[in-house]
Chains A and B, each alone.
Chain A
Amino acid sequence: MPRLKRRINNLSHLFLPLSVLVILIIINLIKGADYFRITMVNGALYGNIPNILFGASELVILSIGMTLVTAASRGQDISIGESGAISSAIFVQYVLNAGEVTLCTILVGFLISCVAGLVIGAFNGTLVSFFNVQPMVATLILFLGGRSIAFIIDGKVSPILANEISNRIGTVIPGVPIPTPIILTAVFIVVVAVVLRTTNLRLYVEAVGVNPSAARLNGINPKKVIFLTFLLMGVCSAVAGFIAVNKAGRHDSVNLLKFIMMDAILAVALGGNSLGGGKFSITGSIIGAYTIEMLNRTLLRLEVNPEAIKAFKAVFIIVLMVIASPVVRVFVKKFLDEAKTIVARYSVRQTGGLNKGAASITDTTGKKGE
């Protein structure tokens, strides 16, 4: 029992994203009961849930990187969309110039785009860690100039990726019912989970985010850790760019992953992470990212006027953040505790203290009171 309680306590930071998810599902079920229905179309799963998983794949990957950057550097990277556009432009150019497209060329192109992502991450990371520039300001440079770089790499027209393999990466592999971006995202999440489990990355990042000077005194070099998180962010944006460009089938340097940094930061915040650095939860961010995609699709499903979608989204975010804000939480907790004690007293008086549930409630409230 106590073990389970501890488990639940550990999951308390997931309260916000999970409750939002539940609310959204309820809204969708009210709208139509067939929300969870999944059908097979052309050998692939089709339905609301697979669509959400499919649509949010880049956002999930980017929000993982954003969580790490936010936790370590206490700021946000706003150039992720641009760095994804640049690295995917390099990938597209390599594939188009390679001649015959095989799995090998795609893989090599992907690795090259990852290297490009690393270079971009190193550029941002150098500014943030070694020059002590605030992350938002440092990444503002690439935010302003990044799309032009991608455009120049593209060479004016938006090149089209018309080959079998990238089409399959963007949609489905014949014989496998699950869309490929979902599989790639799942693989990426597993890799990140394994890395976080087996290495000290989480400990180091949290230590640096909570207090950089204290981390330095304990033998962790904060600069190196922050630099590392930016490198990881670069890889994440390269992977996201790879998936996005294969999904779209062409490289549109102006609109590829446009303004996705806002959604990624929102996903991090929705996941219950502080944007001021410190402890982080990747699970929360992933759920947050899926929640955002679900919110977008729910608004479309409710037939909200497409011009007004952003306003509805904003209202939803504000309501959510108000509910989750520390002040409101403390207030509600106080209120609930008072209600509990009143109920407990009442039931004790009624049953003479024999009721097991009431006794346990009085126990817990008593402990809290101490």
Chain B
Amino acid sequence: MRSLNTTKTKTGLSNSNLLFMIAGIIFVLMYGFALLSFPGSFMQFQTFFDLFNFNAALFIVTLGLCVVMIGGGIDISVGAVCGLVTMACAMLLESGMGNVWGALFLALGIGLAFGLMHGYLIAYLEIQPFIITLAGMFFAQGLLTTLHKEPLNVTRPAFVALRNFTIEIPWLGTVNRLGVFIPCEIKPGVLVVVVLVLLYAVFMKWSRFGRNLYAVGGNRQSARMLGINVKQTIFCSYVICGLTAGISGFVFLMTTGAGNIGNGALFEMKAIASNVMGGILLNGGVGNLLGAPIGTMTLLTINELIRAAGVQSNLQAIVSGLLLYLFIVLQSIVMSLRGRSKFQLALLPWLKSHRTSSEKKAGN
């Protein structure tokens, strides 16, 4: 009976989906806790949208890193590339030569250049990804400080219009103390996030490249045996990550409107943490791409929650570290219990829907 059950359940849920579900449940619990403890601020839809409005660049960086992590690599240059793009675009716009489209192309170009360099060196010359992307990070930081040291505010009218442009949702909003209805606002960066999430999710799930990437990340040797072009796949993943970092730089500039040396600092660490919370493993081959935005939302909710609780700024880092610790341990326990057969019997009877009632009795 037991063996019958285990074979059935094994086909039900893959590791990726299990981790994704854990990430989703954690996010819902986290946000529910936030709603219960601070109903005043978290009940408003605007608070939820602001998570996206102010952190659109982080969401995009996390997506790009997620693609590389599924392929079994790592890219720690994303934050620095994002910062470099903001400064380069700000300088281009301020110099008066290019227009907004030119800045966008510059952003894409810088991202693509870094992606191509990383991809070629890692995939075709077989150098360790950590070292190459570390060098890429140093390179981007060096270029950033060489370009301009002081913060640079973009004053070009066309760009300022884009920065201040917001989309209002007329049927959703809050009434303030004076009784005036304030509709919710969304920045255009959020639309970019949504489009990219959908695009990448479809791409990873149903395209040949996406499935190849999962195979390569899971086991490079067997992927090669299956006839997958491993080098090309890895190359493409880094190019995508670089491009995404370029886009995120432009979105960052669209939100803040200024080029600054500190832009995108520590994004790589935040992105890695978000991806881990979203159930994407660093080893590669495991993870759902939708986990990346969910992990980012969890991380941001935690930060908002700690800020709302009025904890001292030094304790904030410690508390968020502790929460990260809890999630990591929880994930690891679930994964290790899954390795034994006991856990599948314990969890899955109420997760699986298409069972007969007799089995339900036996399971419970």
Contacts and interface: CB of A to CB of B under 8 A. Distances in A.
B58 interface: no
Main secondary structure of the interface of A (DSSP, over half): helix
Given A131-B328, A133-B328, A308-B146, A140 B131 contact: no
B318 A148 contact: yes
Main secondary structure of the interface of B (DSSP, over half): helix
Given A137-B328, A328-B125, A142 B130 contact: no
Given A131-B329, A308-B145, 5 more contacts: A137-B282, A145-B317, A152-B318, A312-B142, A327-B126
Interface in B232-277: 269, 272-273, 276
A134 B282 contact: yes
B322 interface: yes
Contact of A314 (B135, B314, B329): B135
Contact of B142 (A143, A152, A314): A314
A326 B127 CA distance: 8
A311 B125 contact: no
Contact of B318 (A127, A145, A313, A328): A145
Contact of B138 (A133, A141, A152, A310): A310
Nearest to A311: B142
Interface of B: 74, 121, 124-128, 130-132, 134-139, 141-143, 145-146, 149, 269, 272-273, 276, 281-283, 314-318, 320-322, 324-325, 328-329, 332-333, 335-336
Given A145-B318, A148-B317, A321-B131, A308 B328 contact: no
B114 to A, nearest CB: 11
Interface in A51-76: 75-76
A192 interface: no
B303 to A, nearest CB: 11
B45 to A, nearest CB: 29
B135 A317 contact: yes
B124 A327 contact: yes
17 contacts: A131-B329, A132-B336, A134-B281, A138-B328, A141-B325, A145-B317, A145-B318, A148-B318, A152-B315, A265-B134, A269-B130, A307-B146, A312-B142, A314-B136, A318-B139, A322-B125, A325-B125
B329 A141 contact: no
A183 interface: no
Interface in A303-362: 305, 307-315, 317-318, 321-322, 325-328
Interface residues of A, number: 47
A308 B149 CA distance: 11
A43 interface: no
A146 B276 CA distance: 19
Contact of B121 (A144, A151, A321): A321
A260 interface: no
B192 to A, nearest CB: 27
A137 B141 contact: no
A68 B237 CA distance: 31
A144 B317 contact: yes
